[in-house]
Amino acid sequence: MKKQKTDIKALISQMTIDEKIGQLIQLNANFFADSSADITGPWEKLGIDKEALKTIGSTLNFHGADEMVAIQKKHLEEDRNKIPMLFMMDVIHGYRTIYPIPLAMGASFDPETVTECSKMAAREASAGGIQVTFTPMVDYVRDARWGRVMETCGEDPYLNSVMGATQVKAFQGDDLSDRDNLATCVKHFAAYGGAEAGRDYNTVEISERLLREYYLPAYKACIDAGVTMLMPSFNTLNGVPSIANKWLMKKVLKDEWGFEGVVISDYNAVGELLKHGMTDSTKDAAEMSFNCGCDIEMMSITYYLHLKELIAEGKVSEKAIDEAVERILTLKDALGLFEDPTRGASSEKEAAVCLTPEHRDISRRAAEACAVLLKNDGVLPFSESTKKIALIGPFADSKEIKGFWACCGKDDECVSVYEGIKALLPDAEITVARGCSAQWNELDKDGFDEAVAAAKNADAVILCLGEPQKYSGEGNSRADIGLPGVQNELAALCLEANKNTAALVFSGRPLTLCELDAACPAILEMWFPGSEGGSAAANLLFGKVNPSGKVSMSFPKAVGQCPIYYNHPSTGRPKRKPEDVHQPYASNYIGCGNLPLYPFGHGLSYTEFTYESMELDTHELTKDGKITVKVTVKNTGDRAGKEVVQLYIHDLYASAVRPIQQLVAFEKISLSAGETKTVTFEISEPMLRFWDAECKHISEAGDFDLFVGYADHPYIKDTFKLI
């Protein structure tokens, strides 16, 4: 953060205890609207005195620059200390110009794309009055049933760490007071993605070793990158809700990691301590949360009701209150709010910045970078000279492809697949036949005949399938993660009518696609691609752009495999042949085996890449040394493309069982047809550390496998030794 300009300590010294407590409370923007005509306004329903609203330090869920400016202006007129409010919102994958969901951004394996999109979102959101975004969400995930997998970057802690830290740096820039930058809040600390059975808000029970090995690294990476705020998770962690978990919030976050930023609760999380059964008293809830380091209480008022009394009783120290207020005011000062309370936000600026051609171009290129070609038996790319095209399925002309948590994005501002292909191929004859719904409980097949007729009459068929965007995101967990409704039946009939068919899949999670994979010669996963999804799909389908995304979260063959993840530990009874579907007395699923349909790191291209060599400058690594690894890749196909070079290790023998493979580095490179490039990686001892049975972070001398490729598919393999 920038050098402090405001004398924060002097300001705090002149504040009353009630004014200090007000800084620790966040309420929705509708609390600050003019409610003179409504005597039962939201403030009264919640139980907070209307006069106390003048002291409130921050708000969320407002609508655009005009409302923000009006609230800020009124607040400054009424606050005797003239302390500006903080305005926060969830800018998850865009403000008005929406780019692909975070799970898709993980699939890009491209920090440069993440940087460009995050900076775009910060420009638009700041113009709209937002000063803090509740981003990045770096919860480690293994279970595709969980709705919020769409907000993460996938099942690898290293990939999550890289992408999370990249977002922090891109949103915040070098100077938070720059109007184009936003403060960031990493969430949800901790292990929110470990919810039992993939059910949102559900309990999390994991060992400390597992927690430290997989779930915590990405939060720590964001803190190291300079994130300004942190949000505890809703879930219980080993029996204690995160917001009241002293071990997590005090020992790990503050004592071990030295986090000095602002901690904010999730929505009503303090109040929910009563529902968890931690207490039957809002006073106890306030004491537990504040003394665990929660500075701001979002959308509950236990602090308002009880902190003053808790201070008088000696259960909360006024010094701790002052320190919390100082953290909040320091953030406001870093954002430049004392000199520039609205940071130049206006509806005129918002209109000028949002959805510009430049920003739409960024969104389109991101959607192209994130799409994963899951399967291709030579069908794709279709020729641009194709005359008759059939677009079949519930997403053929749908604009509902932006995804959950799209802030101020609007469906009608998205480009549909039909619109994208029509713009690319204006002379083609395009027939749209929806065929059926994408809803799980809508089984109407009345549109099948029209769809099959369109398929028979077409030169190329594009099946536009998937799950509705409301089926993923917060609270939207699914017990069955297949294509909803009768989409598989529709696809089967259309494929019988015309084999020159490719499927586009729109989803917020990996889906079980075995039926589609068995029948369809080409499948392109679009995720929820955002504002320019249709334009990106057109360019990818017809070869204007070569797919380059890689799977960031394993696609299970069946929901019974969940949770499924590539970096699983070795077992004492492994399968002898991974492809076997029935092997007795082994760790195995009868019928489908253990492997996913599409593993982490998988993704095809319209060209071919050959891994020619991997050279190590030494095969012995000392504790303070490095091994230089040079990987040579050649584009042996006939068109340009991008490849993600993925480097994995396997610790063969250790005092704690290690994962069978572990991503330690990656780089996305561009290669022209026939071009060769060498990618250089460095391996150092810290990359080999793990948490042992006593939760000590150590490395151990011994042998390691090293390979480039993707999960379960090494291209080139070598070994080295840590000495």
Q: Is 406 found in the same domain as 519?
A: yes
Q: Is 627 found in the same domain as 555?
A: no
Q: Is 403 found in the same domain as 513?
A: yes
Closest C-alpha to 298, from 268, 331, 329: 268
Q: Is 615 found in the same domain as 529?
A: no
So what's the pLDDT on residue 295? Answer: 98
Residue 649, strand partner residues: 662, 706
- Residue 671 sits in a domain whose CATH number is 2.60.40.10
So what's the pLDDT on residue 2? Answer: 53
So what's the pLDDT on residue 37? Answer: 41
567 falls within a domain: no
Would you call 266 a catalytic residue per the annotation?
yes
So what's the pLDDT on residue 41? Answer: 64
382-423 residue pLDDT tens: 999 999 999 999 999 999 999 999 999 999 999 999 999 999
Q: Is 530 found in the same domain as 633?
A: no
So what's the pLDDT on residue 267? Answer: 97
- d(CA 503, CA 557) in angstroms, rounded, equals 18
CB 154 within 8 A of CB 141: yes
Closest C-alpha to 409, from 532, 506, 530: 530
Q: How many domains is the chain built from?
A: 2
Beta strands at 240-241 and 183-189: parallel, antiparallel or unpaired: unpaired
So what's the pLDDT on residue 574? Answer: 86
Q: Is 659 found in the same domain as 549?
A: no
Which helix (H) or strand (E) element contains residue 73? helix 64-78
- d(CA 616, CA 13) in angstroms, rounded, equals 61
- Residue 532 sits in a domain whose CATH number is 3.40.50.1700
239 falls within a domain: no
Q: Is 376 found in the same domain as 448?
A: yes
195 falls within a domain: no
Q: Is 548 found in the same domain as 634?
A: no
Q: Per the residue annotation, which of 90, 110, 266, 397 is the catalytic one?
A: 266
659 falls within a domain: yes
Q: Is 648 found in the same domain as 540?
A: no
Q: Is 717 found in the same domain as 656?
A: yes
499, 534, 561 — which closes off a domain? 561
The burial of 421, by beta-carbon neighbours within 10 Å (0-12 exposed, 13-18 middle, 19 or more buried), is given as buried
452 falls within a domain: yes
Closest C-alpha to 243, from 176, 178, 293: 293
CB 229 within 8 A of CB 261: yes
647 lies in which domain range? Answer: 609-722
Residue 522, strand partner residues: 376
CB 661 within 8 A of CB 606: no
* Sign (positive or negative) of CA dihedral 82, 12, 172, 214: negative
- d(CA 393, CA 377) in angstroms, rounded, equals 21
- d(CA 63, CA 68) in angstroms, rounded, equals 7
φ, ψ at 196 (rounded to 5°) = -55, 130
Side chain identity at residue 507, one-letter code = S
Which helix (H) or strand (E) element contains residue 170? helix 157-172
Q: Report the alpha-carbon angle 62-66-67, nearest 5.
A: 30
282-308 residue pLDDT tens: 999 999 999 999 999 999 999 999 999
Q: Report the alpha-carbon angle 618-624-629, nearest 5.
A: 30
CB 524 within 8 A of CB 373: yes
Alpha-helical regions (H) of 313-460:
318-334, 347-353, 357-370, 417-424, 448-456
Residue 39: HSE in the Cβ half-sphere, 13 Å Cα cutoff: 0
Q: Is 477 found in the same domain as 408?
A: yes
Q: Which two tokens mark 65?
A: 């620059």
Alpha carbon 532 to its chain's center: 19
Q: Is 538 found in the same domain as 456?
A: yes
Which stretches in the chain have pLDDT values below 70? 1-4, 34-41, 576, 578-581
E-assigned strands of 603-710?
Answer: 609-616, 620-621, 626-635, 641-651, 662-671, 676-684, 690-691, 697-698, 702-710
Beta strands at 626-635 and 609-616: parallel, antiparallel or unpaired: antiparallel
